[in-house]
Structure 1
Amino acid sequence: MGADLIVEVALRHDRSEWSRIVPELCGGDAELEALVRALLAHYDRPDSPLPEGPYPVTLGPFTLDRELGAGAHGKVYLARRASLDGFVALKLLRPGPGMSEFVEQVRREAGRARRIPSAHVVPVFDAGRIEGGPFYVEMAVCADPDEESPGSIRIGRSLREAQPGLDPGEAARLVEDLARAVHAAHRTGIVHGDVKPENVLLTPETHRVMLADFGIATSLAVSVAPESAPIGTVAYMAPEQWRDRRAPSPSSDVYTLGGTLYFLLSGVAPHAGREVGADAPPRPLPASVPPRLREIVQRALAPRPEDRPASAAALADELRRFRALEPTWHDRRSVSRRVLLFARRHARELAAVAVVLALLLPLFVAGYRFFAGRVGELAAGEARLHGRIQTLDRSRADLERDVARLEGAAESKQKELARTESRLQQLPRLEQALGAAKEEAARSEAALAQRDAEAREAALRVAALEAQVAAVREALADAQSRERAAREDGATREAVARQDAGRALGERDEARRRLSDAEARLRTLERELRERDAALAVARAAEREALRRAAALAPAPGTK
């Protein structure tokens, strides 16, 4: 059994029993018994003197430069460790029972606190006991470099000391950063248990908050306090801790964050009366505190944990929204408040728009009147133009119908002309047949000349026949001339018909007259062709009769 444990057991008994308990616990070990008695002599001094100056004071491996503050469990000093070149904050604890267990607990909590991802947490480096002296907790010092004295630092102060000079907006900013640090600790699995202005430090130049004593208050309470005693500072403690003696939780840390903000806004702790046995609810905040910020504080100090913000991060977000003029938990339940906040956030833009509108409104009114008159004129002109367009549309529809009719008539006439051309193309075949008939007639004449001698008796008849043949030839020549004239006339009529068909769209009546003339001429041509065919048939018949007669009149062979 170690000396610290023996001391702790002895401290739980009356001092008159130490002479009996210590030898029994040491088991006859004289050296151990001497050490235990020396430790008990240290604890036997009720005032437990801690260094008070003049400074610097050397205590074990530390050199104390000056005292930074004091609390119920000890004092905090600005110190230097001999093996390090730099300052640390050294908290020396007053002696009491359970210190060994407390130091081990602090060491465990310090290892976990170093993993908190936040720049607003004061890291704990070590905890233990100075040989022959008090227990200590070594922490980082909260300070800024002193620009006026290179190599020196300016020590921060607690929020309790800084409270008189803070306005509501700055207080909200500091507690917002503080809440984010507490939330980072909760995510690491650490509950602070004693958030209050005295445990929050503020750097002098950068105005950065740093939360100290992470896990130390809880560890100390668990180690040295009775089981029925609440853990934390009663003036800031959540109701469930004060009434029901519950252990610290993330929700109770949210409550103490709200209590810290309450102190910064009012200058008093939310439950200052608990120290004298009273437990009245927090008094209303001063009227100078913005109503939206009062609502946030009241919600954080709700008696029931379920009525508070769900986490320290939620409280930090509410404070951010308050400072940014964005809707908070209470604002989101009112449309008018959201509109008012929007107007406040965009006050400059809305003011600029109002100025622009004020400048442009007269121009807009004048322009509106001018354009209204122009629009009326344009509307009347548009109505007239619309009437004209409708008239033109009707005319175009009539023209399209006339064109369609003329195109149909022209197409029919073109078909008739095509039929006429096909008939005219047959004329060369008729001329060829006529040439063959001429050749046959010539041969007949030659045969008649040979047989003339034998057909003296038929001379007169032959002469008559020749006269008839001449008449036929004259008729044939006349038919040929008429045929050529008909062909020329047909070509002319075709050209005229085509020209008439091209002008049919614009000269409908003239086309109809010309088409009627063409039809009459075609009928005349057909009649003439029929007369010519009949004349040709008569000529051929006469020629055949002449040949027959010539053959009949030809003399027989051997006759003279």
Structure 2
Amino acid sequence: MNVDEAIALVERASAEELFGGGDAQRKYRTLAKLVHPDFAGPRGTTAFARLSELWRGRNAIHTARGSYSTEVLAYRGDLSNLYKVPEGHLKLARDPSCNDLLAREATALRQIAEQGDPRYLPYVPRLVDSFRHRSDTGEVRRANVIGVSAARLHSLEEVRARRPHGLDPRDAAWMWRRLLVALGLAHRAGVVHGAVVARHVLIEPDDHGVVLVDWCYSVADPHEHIPAVVPGHRPDYPPEVLARGTPGPGTDIFMAAGLMSQLMGDRAPKALRRFADGCRLASPRQRPDDAWQLLAELDELLLRLYGPRRFRPFVL
């Protein structure tokens, strides 16, 4: 390839056409040498600048709503890789077989945003974009771009690891209360989360914020089943899910109560343990199914146990 051919190629080609299908570094170095102004003269200035821009954006996915980089892998989730982007995270399925689960998440978040109470929307992620991406190998994978309002978030999985002897029930109280708000918001919008486990509940310690994430296992149709069980969490699910029965609000309440019981461990007072046990009855008909009503009942119990609510700083 001579200089003229290299300049023409850079001027018309996309980043994928220039660097896809092989050793991207070698292709970039070859083109950079040919179009560099020191070699090509002034006519290479524009081409070299464009080549540099294409190289910087080679790992970006472009949609009608924006461009999202896959440069920074922030987290490896159950089904997807999450890449840090200015809007929050780009969530890209690792395998096309999980595309339907990411589509479920997009459906659930849209439905909650459209039908949920705006005051409580910060308790769930914001769907920024959702699309299908075709890779260089031809695989088509679903992607969601997710944003959250809080900045410094930690999962309850991390909290549990840092409090191996159990969480003080007074700290668990605000987490449980806010988790019930997130569930109440979703249930009123007709969505069941279906995967209320420690890694999917994020907290903001300073402001006592809670965000319920990963809606890939959700159900937004009352006739559907929970599509899958979170790996390693089968014992945390209620009987109706394991029997492929119809889930409901009580499904999430069952899992939330179990999670909070695990967090507190032996530190939970008897009255709080009995309250959690009542949320985990085997029969969905006997179990609470209204998160807002349950929140009011929890508040009454906490008032009897600890007195009027007051802010309690929480430091991990």
Give the TM-score of the pair, scaled to structure 1: 0.37
Tell me which residue corresponds to 1:162: 159
2:124 is equivalent to residue 121 of structure 1: yes
Secondary structure of 1:139's aligned partner: strand
Q: Residues 245 and 305 of structure 1: is their aligned pair in 2 closer, same or farther, counting only changes over 3 Å? A: same
Secondary structure of 1:114's aligned partner: helix
Tell me which residue corresponds to 1:62: 68
2:133 alignment partner, one of 118, 130, 133: 130
1:73 alignment partner, one of 67, 70, 79: 79
CA contact 1:113–1:124 (8 Å) conserved in 2: no
Shift in Å, 1:127: 1.9
Q: Residues 75 and 160 of structure 1: is their aligned pair in 2 closer, same or farther, counting only changes over 3 Å? A: same
1:305 alignment partner, one of 249, 265, 284: 284
Q: Distance in 1 between matches of 2:205 and 2:260?
A: 19
Q: Taking every aligned residue pair, what percent have the same amino acid on both sides?
A: 24
CA contact 1:113–1:123 (8 Å) conserved in 2: no
Shift in Å, 1:174: 0.7
CA contact 1:176–1:317 (8 Å) conserved in 2: no
CA contact 1:122–1:212 (8 Å) conserved in 2: yes
Larger radius of gyration: 1
CA contact 2:174–2:208 (8 Å) conserved in 1: no
- Please give the root-mean-square deviation of Cα atoms over the aligned residues, in Å: 3.0
Deviations 1:140-169 (A, max 9, x none): 13533xxxxxxxxxx311111123344111
Deviations 1:428-485 (A, max 9, x none): xxxxxxxxxxxxxxxxxxxxxxxxxxxxxxxxxxxxxxxxxxxxxxxxxxxxxxxxxx
Shift in Å, 1:102: 4.7
Structure having the higher helix fraction is 1
Tell me which residue corresponds to 2:245: 246
Q: Distance in 1 between matches of 2:238 and 2:105?
A: 23
Deviations 1:256-287 (A, max 9, x none): 11122122113xxxxxxxxxxxxxxxxxxx1x
2:274 alignment partner, one of 295, 302, 311: 295
CA contact 2:226–2:247 (8 Å) conserved in 1: no
Tell me which residue corresponds to 1:184: 185
- How many correspondences in the alignment? 230
Q: Distance in 2 between matches of 1:64 and 1:171?
A: 36
Structure having the higher strand fraction is 2
Deviations 1:477-532 (A, max 9, x none): xxxxxxxxxxxxxxxxxxxxxxxxxxxxxxxxxxxxxxxxxxxxxxxxxxxxxxxx
Shift in Å, 1:297: 1.2
2:314 is equivalent to residue 317 of structure 1: no
Note the residue ranges of structure 1 that are not aligned, 5 or more in a row: 1-54, 81-86, 145-154, 220-226, 267-285, 326-340, 347-560
Secondary structure of 2:218's aligned partner: helix
2:163 is equivalent to residue 139 of structure 1: no
Secondary structure of 1:90's aligned partner: strand
Q: Residues 188 and 136 of structure 1: is their aligned pair in 2 closer, same or farther, counting only changes over 3 Å? A: same
Shift in Å, 1:229: 7.0
Q: Residues 253 and 228 of structure 1: is their aligned pair in 2 closer, same or farther, counting only changes over 3 Å? A: closer
Q: Residues 252 and 104 of structure 1: is their aligned pair in 2 closer, same or farther, counting only changes over 3 Å? A: closer
Q: Distance in 1 between matches of 2:58 and 2:201?
A: 26
CA contact 1:142–1:201 (8 Å) conserved in 2: no
Shift in Å, 1:98: 6.4
CA contact 2:80–2:93 (8 Å) conserved in 1: yes
CA contact 2:112–2:185 (8 Å) conserved in 1: no
- Per chain length, whose mean CA-contact separation is higher, i.e. which structure has more relative contact order (CA < 8 Å, sep 6+)? 2
